[in-house]
Amino acid sequence: MQTETRTEAQQQQAHCHYVLRLADTSLVLGQRLAEWIGHAPALEEDLALANLSLDLIGQARLLLTYAGELEGQGRDEDALAFLRDAPEFLNLALAEQPNGDFAHTIVRQWLIDAWQLEIYGALEHSSDTRLAAIAAKAIRETRYHYRFSSGWLVRLGDGTAESRQRTQRALDDLWRFTAEPFAPDEIDERMSRAGIATPLPELASRWSARMEEDLRAATLTRPATQPFPWHGKRGVHTEHLGHLLGEMQHLQRSYPGARW
């Protein structure tokens, strides 16, 4: 009996953490994109990046609220967003990388958009109906995001000599974060067995094929280096997350208990 309860509890926690991984990736990426507002290469791109940011934060809010319910400790979307420290954040390490130049931002966006297309696409058929509903809404946004980011990848890769150089550089810089999105761990396996998530290896080949096609269209070279096995989704981050959270959480931390 005790073992059953413990297994149930473990499963519940895995479920909660699985949702948090999705939530935190959207939140951190949304926060990064928000940093561009007012500083984009053209006014039209200010609006485009703001639109992406808004969509991602919207996804984060839905997913965080659900994660809080699964956790069952009374934490709402804001308690989770503003009062957890970096080791408790479960986003992909890729999402927290700094904006850099526009090429870095576009490459980071394109990689995550292609990943979200697979993940949300698969979650539409999840045995978890709440997650399926969130995914159904999110995938429509992701399709637009992917159209935007892949379009820009091609413009920059196949633009001027300078833009190709910058974009190839961005790809080389961010390549080390591309193993994590499709590397399954114990939580992913639990979710697959429960019919909540599709096994990652099944999704990985489609993601890889799409990447190849886009890189070809963008006249870019797939980096030869091996990606490093980051564990952002287990709370082991790069140094960047701490600074991002410091800025994001400042007001709530400085005025504990205040309503905003």
Q: Does 58 bind other proteins (CB under 8 A)?
A: yes
- The residue (of 224 and 258) whose beta carbon lies closer to other proteins is 258
44 binds other proteins (CB under 8 A): yes
Q: Does the protein bind other proteins through residue 1 (CB under 8 A)? A: no
The DSSP secondary-structure symbol of 95 reads G
Residue 6 or 250 with smaller CB distance to other proteins: 250
Alpha-carbon distance 52 to 58, whole Å?
10
140 part of the interface to other proteins, by CB under 8 A: no
Among 11, 13, 45, 194, indicate the residue that binds other proteins (CB under 8 A).
Answer: 45
Q: Binding pattern to other proteins, positions 83-102, x when CB under 8 A? A: ------------------xx
As to burial, measured by CB atoms within 10 angstroms (0-12 exposed, 13-18 middle, 19+ buried), residue 91 is: buried
- Cα 137 to Cα 45, 58, 70, 119, 196: the distances in Å are 23, 10, 20, 13, 17
For the chain, percent helix, then strand, then coil, each to nearest 5? 75, 0, 25
User: In terms of DSSP H, where are the helices of 35-127?
Assistant: 43-71, 77-83, 102-123
The CB-of-45 to other proteins minimum distance in angstroms stands at 8
Q: Does 42 bind other proteins (CB under 8 A)?
A: yes
Compose the 154-193 pattern: x for residues touching other proteins by CB under 8 A, - for all others. xxx-xxx-xx--x---------------------------
Residue 49 CB, nearest approach to other proteins (Å): 9
